[in-house]
Structures are given as structure tokens and as C-alpha cells.
Amino acid sequence: MGIINTEQSNIPPNWGEHLHQFKEDTIFLESIRPELLYQYPDCWIAIYQKEVVGVASKLKDVIKQLDQKDVPRGYTVIEFLNTKQIPMIL
């Protein structure tokens, strides 16, 4: 397996930085999840650079908010804050 040549692909040259930031934003979201669930129950939420950049009851509205703020969709953590427990079969 070789090294990816970002000049000949669709991968941005600073993809590692974006991946690291996405990971940090995911950790941030998990660290404040209880507060977010309390503030925004059953809503979609968008986190970018450890900041809440969008909140709405519909995903399409969060996407509109990101576009209006020029927040890159592909590098933003977007998640639904579900207050209902979902049974899982393992």
C-alpha cells in the first residue's frame, strides 16, 4: 500500500488537519451531550471547531444554517439529539 498523492486525487492537502478537527469536535460533542440534550431535545445539531454552529428540528434546516455561515458541511459533526432510548439487539 502506497502513500496517497493528494495532487492527483480529490483529497485536500490538509485532510489530516480536518480529520483531527473532526475528531476533536466529536469528543467535544460527547463531553457536552447532557447539556445539549437539555437545551436542544430531539433536534439536529452541528458542531464545527468546538462550537455549536447549527440547531434545528429538521436536518435540511441545519444544512441551510451551515451554508449561510459558510461552514464546510464535510468537516462538520452533525447529529440528532434523540431523547428516546432506542433498543439495540446485539
pLDDT of residue 53: 97
Residue 61: all three cell numbers together: 434546516
Q: Using CA atoms of 3, 4, 7, 13 in order, give the dihedral in degrees to the nearest 10.
A: -100
Q: State pLDDT tens for residues 33-66.
A: 999 999 999 999 999 999 999 999 999 999 999 9
Q: How far apart are CA 86 and CA 26, in angstroms?
A: 21
Model pTM score: 0.77
45: which strand partners?
55, 79
**Residue whose grid cell is 459558510:** 70
Q: State pLDDT tens for residues 58-88.
A: 999 999 999 999 999 989 999 999 988 777 7
